[in-house]
Amino acid sequence: MNMSESPYTTEIVKVYFDISEGTVRNWSKEFADYLSPTANPGGNRPRMFTADDMAVFDLISTMKATGATYKDIQASLSNGERGTIPEATADDLKSIVPAEQDRRLLAEIDTLKIRLEEVIGERDTYRVEVAELKAEIRQLEKRINEAQERGALEGELKALRRMLDRQDE
């Protein structure tokens, strides 16, 4: 890598090719023979990619989009095929990373807003159900009280009848 040339970071590769960080890692390992040593630095060091690495990734991305297998891509790379090197430098592309992150965050916010509305709807439904259940409980308690009062009155009536029966004897 030319020292005056800034490297392409994993974030730039990820956003530029619209792939996940895991895919960057997998492609870096699978096609390591065609990439610079900084693409697989080891020792928990960050991956850094050259413009030539970007051309390799471009070929991989293009071929994967057409359904090519890793074996097909390996064969093409072995034959010297490469994709297109980005016209923009790594420094130029750094600006797309925050923009892409912002876009993804906004999409996540929209998803969360929709879920919040669903949860609020569920809460409102729950509140209505709770109110209905409370009304049913009040009705049942009233019926129980009435039944208890009726039982007590029936008990008093029986006691009065027994007293009356004893007096008639």
Specify which residues 161 forms β-bridges with. none
Domain tally, the chain: 1
Question: Is residue 88 one of the residues assigned to a domain?
Answer: yes
Inside any domain, residue 149: no
88: domain CATH number? 1.10.1660.10
3 within a domain of the structure (yes/no): no
Is residue 156 included in any domain, yes or no? no
pLDDT at 3: 43
Look at residue 64 and tell me if it is in a domain. yes
Tell me whether residue 63 is in a domain. Answer: yes
Domain of residue 42, residue span: 8-94
44 and 36 Cβ atoms separated by less than 8 Å: no
> From CA 29, how far away is CA 56, in angstroms rounded?
13
So what's the pLDDT on residue 29? 96
pLDDT value at residue 99: 64
Q: How far is Cα 2 from Cα 51, in angstroms, rounded to an integer? A: 10
Q: Which long-range contacts (CB under 8 A, 24 or more apart) does 32-38 make?
A: 33/77, 34/77, 36/1, 38/1, 38/7
Rounded to an integer, what distance in angstroms lies between the CA atom of residue 2 and that of residue 124? Answer: 62
Residues 66-86: pLDDT tens digits?
A: 999 999 999 999 999 999 988
Q: Is 128 contained in some domain?
A: no
Residues 6+ apart with CB under 8 A from 84: 55, 58
Determine which helix (DSSP H) or strand (DSSP E) holds 124, and give its type and residue range: helix 96-168
What is the separation, in whole angstroms, between the first and last Cα of the chain? Answer: 122
Q: Residue 39 has what pLDDT?
A: 96
Compute φ and ψ for 18, nearest 5 degrees.
Answer: 55, 55
Which pLDDT score, from 0 to 100, does residue 77 have? 97
Strand partners, 48: 9
* CA–CA gap between residue 57 and residue 73 (Å, rounded): 10
Ranges in the chain, pLDDT < 50: 1-3
Q: Is 144 buried (19+), middle (13-18) or exposed (0-12) by CB count in 10 A?
A: exposed
Which tokens is 24 given?
Answer: 């960057």
- Domain membership flag for residue 27: yes
